[in-house]
Structure 1
Amino acid sequence: MKSGPMHRYLFHALRPLLCLLILLSGLAAPALAQLPNMSGNPPSEQEETVTDAFGRTTPRGTVQGYLAAMAQNDPIQAGRFLQVEPGSARAETLAEQLRTVLDRSGRLAPVSEINNTNEGASGDGLEGDLDQVGIISSPDGDVPLLVRRIQQDGHAVWVVADETLKALPKLANQSVATLIERYTPSSLKGYELLGIPAGDWAAVPVLAFLTFLIGWCLAWALTAFAINTWLRRAPAETRDEARRVRVPLAFLFSNGLFRFACLGLGVSVIARQWTFQLYDIIAILSLVWIVFIVTSAVARRLLDTMTRREKTSAISGTKLITRLINAVALFIGLFQILDMLGFDVGTGLAALGIGGLALALGAQKTIENLVGSVMLVVDQPIRVGDLCQFEGVFGTVEDIGIRSTRVRTLEHTVVTIPNGAFSSMQIENFTRKERFLFHHQFGVRYETTAEEIERVRQALKAYLKEHPAIQDDDPAVRFLNFGADSLTMEIFVYIETRSIPKFFDYQTELLMGVMNTVQGEGVEFAFPSQTVYLSRDSRAPANFLGGKPESTARENKPPSA
């Protein structure tokens, strides 16, 4: 199959989308690298799942548990997350001091960056039983917020390390009231909802609105600059796509601005942690949104170019790769969001290595259809826009998707076929024809003489040789056989066109020409006729034929013109 230039064009046309897919794969690698036991091997003794009533089995669980306890104004419960004797007065005091320090000068790491395994993070330069989950600023320098893994009640738990607790009294004395604390009306001080002070409830919505407004202005200015410079000569559709990026881009800008404003004004750590997590989710969705917009714009530009240059072979590949990129981006985004919300996605994915049978039973058809779609694009038995026939279905291919292919029939119904089954069918592609066969038979009356038949043959040959759609110096016009009611003649030539509508036009024109040529030679077309012979049976009664013993014959023929 001569497809080398076509495949090279497809590669060059899809190179931007392939680069974006590689970039997304690189972004997914760090997340996938953290999945535990992806090889499917049984867990070791050190990796055995342990349970803790307070969720302290991972550094992330300890941080979230401490914040949840302080949100309920329960310092006794919060003290269980510190490396001190649970229930002691010192534990309550340190829990309160830790909250004060975090509210005024502390910063916790984003939830997605805090390790969520029993063993903690590795390669961070700390001892094996230590993890850093935040930082506390002070006039004497930054103090790391550390958590340590210790043995308690017969199993390992993570608690705020003693190194950090020893510095808390001094850090609490050095801390000063934040701007929100200073300017909160005295009538609102002391009131909290879900552990968040009333001043923060008033400040956070205002900050969210102002930072989004600033982010919108930045996004509008950036896209306007791009439209007036880089995209000045681009089609109107491309400039419209650039304008669509403004909303998700504004969310991304506002994410950074909101964090900076909350830290600068002194929003409490509980309010910060929950709102930062919400903003992280919005940022991920915004990135996925931008990927959708960019891939849609690039794909539309490529499809327009391919259609204009009649490179239809690359259209299906472009659509498939665009959908794969969007699917990868959506998968990465959902994976990160579920991980932020505390779902153990890694363990679920790792179970696929162990539960191969479940994958084979549950996802077999999905994988089969995905592989089938790739084979349809690579092997290209059909392309979008091709007229094809398979298993009694005749129609035009409208779309080759990741799961199925849609075909529009002549009755304008849509037939959807799973790609796994479609790729294994015997498909007849009419659009790929280099030329069309004109093969017809017709009969002339038995009264036609041999000289008349030869004269008709030569006249038809001359007519076909002169026709512009027939590129044959010796068209095949034959006296085929003696039929039941006619002398059968046959025409076997090729019409030189790749267009199906033009073929039907040429076929109509040729049939009319054949009719005129045959009639012009004085030869008549035959139609079904029958001759019936009647005779008297010698064994029949004498009066069986009305008393007439002689044989009679009647020819059943239509009256002559």
Structure 2
Amino acid sequence: MSSEILMHFVTMAVAVLATFVVVSLFLKWAVVKLEGYYKSRGIVLDEGIRADFSRSFKVVVLGLVLFVLMREISFGPVATRYVSYVLLIGITLMCISLVYNFVRGMLDFSLKRKGLSLDEHSSRVLLPVVKAIAWIVALAFLLDNFGFKISTILAGLGVAGVAVGFAAQAVLGDLFSYFAILFDRPFRIGDFIVLDTLRGNIEHIGLKTTRIRSLDGEQIVLSNSDLTGSRVHNYRRMTRRRVLFGFGVVYQTPAAKVEAIPGLVRAVIENVDLATCDRAHFKQFGAFSLDFEVVFYVESPDYGTYMDIQQTINLGLMKTFEAQGIAFAYPTQKIYMTSEEENDA
């Protein structure tokens, strides 16, 4: 090995080492500043994302330095060309990782500002899409630098894409529906929804299908197109629940007690936490009872809370009516029998 080539290697080693030190110090300073900025807003950076981004950034910068040095320092045309190809491939691959980790970090930061987590949010499905696009761009870049005619390849891919598009209309429809769900956000994972006769919680939102855990326990898989084309009732978005129920008392109840019943009902409801009485009325004369109709609000969207409150109100009404001597009605019939003499008279 000649002294000139040795000097080239020493120069490259010193340049790479200096670059590594400068980049490491810069990243350390930038991370400290970012952590302080985010901490003041109550946001903690994801350690894994930060480490992946820092590593990708260092490798890309070092690769670029090596690439420039290989261009400036002559090792012979053949060696320079092949080493440049290897460095170009390595830098391109690390750029994919850099872009992917940057997008992942921005998504994580945006979601944490809203109190959400990237691991639980449906937008994480965008990450494989971002990675696929980055790979396609990187492949086109490498092929162009290796002397292939990209325009011809892209034209062929365009024709093939049209054919595939016609053959996969249903799949593409579900894919576009996924993005409609992602950006419009009619529901999210964990929401309780009602869709026609289906009731359950959203478990997973994918590129093609959404999975719902029904009340009976089985998992139901629906295409995204079915969801976006249907009327979906999202009970998690409720701030309060309106409840309508009725009951009847026997016809033998005195008028004064019938008149007092709405007030008694209102008093029972108002004594229950998270319950607000809207109205209570003597509605109608039923077939075998004096019918009352009651409307109240539960100041919580939770179904279990609603059932607990309804049970408390029902027990309260039973105790109150028992104390007032008011009897609930139940289906009854009276049969009047007469003798033949009475009929003749």
Q: Deviations over 1:295-314 (max 9, x none)?
A: 22222222122128xxxxxx
Q: Is the 8 A contact 2:241 2:298 kept in 1?
A: yes
Give 3-state SS (helix, strand or coil) of 1:511's partner. helix
The residue type equivalent to 1:306 in the other structure is K
Aligned to 2:246: 441
Does 1:464 pair with 2:269? yes
Pair 477,212 (structure 1): closer, same or farther in 2 beyond 3 Å: farther
Say how many residue pairs are matched.
Answer: 328
Pair 414,347 (structure 1): closer, same or farther in 2 beyond 3 Å: farther
Q: Deviations over 1:90-142 (max 9, x none)?
A: xxxxxxxxxxxxxxxxxxxxxxxxxxxxxxxxxxxxxxxxxxxxxxxxxxxxx
Pair 248,381 (structure 1): closer, same or farther in 2 beyond 3 Å: closer
Does 1:512 pair with 2:320? no
| Cα RMSD after superposing both structures | 4.3
Q: Deviations over 1:247-277 (max 9, x none)?
A: 2123212312333454566434333323322
Does 1:365 pair with 2:144? no
Aligned to 1:422: 227
Gaps of 5+ in 2: 338-345
1:257 pairs with one of 61, 65, 88? 65
Q: Deviations over 1:155-195 (max 9, x none)?
A: xxxxxxxxxxxxxxxxxxxxxx8944x99xxxxxxxxxxxx
Aligned to 2:293: 490
The residue type equivalent to 1:425 in the other structure is S
Q: Deviations over 1:341-360 (max 9, x none)?
A: 67766434323554675143
Q: Distance in 1 between matches of 2:136 and 2:237?
A: 37
The residue type equivalent to 1:430 in the other structure is Y
| Deviates most, 441-450 or 277-286 | 441-450
Which protein has the bigger helix share?
Answer: 2
TM normalised by structure 2 equals 0.72
Pair 304,490 (structure 1): closer, same or farther in 2 beyond 3 Å: same
Q: Distance in 2 between matches of 1:211 and 1:261?
A: 9
Aligned to 1:478: 282
The equivalences for 1:46-65 within 5 A come to none
2:237 pairs with one of 432, 455, 466? 432
TM normalised by structure 1 equals 0.48
Pair 453,290 (structure 1): closer, same or farther in 2 beyond 3 Å: same
Give 3-state SS (helix, strand or coil) of 2:315's partner. helix
Q: Deviations over 1:216-253 (max 9, x none)?
A: 54443222121233433434425664333232123212
Pair 259,300 (structure 1): closer, same or farther in 2 beyond 3 Å: closer
Gaps of 5+ in 1: 1-176, 184-202, 309-314, 535-561
Q: Distance in 2 between matches of 1:270 and 1:392?
A: 71
Q: Distance in 2 between matches of 1:341 and 1:421?
A: 46
Q: Is the 8 A contact 2:272 2:312 kept in 1?
A: no
Give 3-state SS (helix, strand or coil) of 1:389's partner. strand
Q: Distance in 2 between matches of 1:179 and 1:260?
A: 18
Aligned to 1:220: 24
Q: Distance in 2 between matches of 1:208 and 1:405?
A: 54
Aligned to 2:99: 291
Q: Distance in 1 between matches of 2:150 and 2:216?
A: 47
Aligned to 1:336: 141
Q: Deviations over 1:389-413 (max 9, x none)?
A: 2144323335545444444445666
Larger radius of gyration: 1
Identity of aligned residues (%): 21
Q: Is the 8 A contact 1:223 1:242 kept in 2?
A: no
Pair 503,230 (structure 1): closer, same or farther in 2 beyond 3 Å: same
Give 3-state SS (helix, strand or coil) of 1:245's partner. helix
Q: Distance in 1 between matches of 2:81 and 2:312?
A: 78
Q: Distance in 2 between matches of 1:404 and 1:425?
A: 14
Pair 331,354 (structure 1): closer, same or farther in 2 beyond 3 Å: closer
Give 3-state SS (helix, strand or coil) of 2:103's partner. helix
Pair 492,471 (structure 1): closer, same or farther in 2 beyond 3 Å: closer
Q: Is the 8 A contact 1:211 1:254 kept in 2?
A: no
Q: Distance in 2 between matches of 1:262 and 1:291?
A: 25
The equivalences for 1:180-329 within 5 A come to 180=5, 216-235=20-39, 236-238=44-46, 241-263=49-71, 266-307=74-115, 325-329=130-134
